[in-house]
Structure 1
Amino acid sequence: MVDSQDLLEELGFRPDFLVQEIGVDDDVDDEFRDALEELLDEELIDEDEQEVVDAVLLWFRDGDDDLTDALVDSLTTLDEGGVVWLLTPRSGREGYVPPVEIQDAAPNAGLHVTSSAGVSVNWAATKLMARKSY
């Protein structure tokens, strides 16, 4: 398995990033969160904070309200050029969100899917970025 720090750097996280976390519950991957906080050398920013951030971790499960609304809400504090990492349970896990739902919700929130990655045994991540305006 890939080292946590290597994985985080592959995902584009850097020590100088401010990262906000939304949708935290008892089922999130604490090892992934701890490794990210270690890389950042600070705690993740709570979803109630209004600080401008470089990235958002959005933990989302099937049954958590509306995905489009959650994505729109995740953009509130995201800096221009920032990225949303949508973390969803992997296929076969409780709360699994089919990729087609992500593909449908992203454009409605003004985002597009750029890549995906497995971050743990139970969670997959989808990288979403704002559509460029021309």
Structure 2
Amino acid sequence: MDEEAGRMTAYAERMGLTTGQTVREIGWDEDTDPAVRDAIRRATGAELLDEDSEVAVDVVLYWWRNGDGDLANELMYAVGPLSDGGAIWVLTPRAGIPGHILASDLAEATADADLHHATTAALGAWTGHRITRRPPAS
């Protein structure tokens, strides 16, 4: 396995993606990482759905940069088309890269949207944050 293929496999594994999952992508721009996008396509076996898609999805992939708007509102919007057990992956530029957002800002937006920040994963020049619905109270 060459280095690029190994990196893409690692990205998909870190994100917990599997064959057959549907992924809706929001916030694509020229600065997004094609290796992350390719890893998702390879892992799921499907093209990414665009942000105008209205079908239920397993994952929402959100490329988010400082200055993109109100993240809490966007998270509330993104959770709508999620299937049961689905997740939102918010990808933000790593620290030191233009567009980086503070972890405290992400935590505040997640809490304001009444969601749960489940995990973080390094994805090249981006940091992935897995956001889920809050677990039911026991």
Greater mean deviation of Cα atoms: 27-36 or 85-94: 27-36
Q: CA offset at residue 81 of structure 1?
A: 1.2
Instruction: Map 1:1-134 to 2 at 5 A.
Output: 3-120=7-124, 122-134=125-137
CA RMSD of aligned residues (A): 1.4
Question: In the TM superposition, what whole-angstrom CA distance separates every residue of 1:89-130 from its partner, at most 9, and x where no partner exists?
Answer: 00000000100001111011121111101101x211011110
Shift of 1:34: 1.3
Give the superposition deviation at 1:68.
Answer: 0.5
* Deviation at residue 26 of structure 1 after TM alignment: 1.1
Q: Alpha carbons of 1:31 and 1:7: their partners in 2 closer, same or farther (altered >3 Å)?
A: closer
Q: 5+ residue gaps in structure 2?
A: none
Provide structure 1 residue ranges, at least 5 long, that are not aligned to the other structure.
none
1:100 partner SS: helix
Amino acid at match of 1:70: E
Asked if the contact 2:14–2:121 (Cα under 8 Å) also holds between the matched residues in 1, the reply is: no
How many residues in Structure 1 have an aligned counterpart in Structure 2? 133
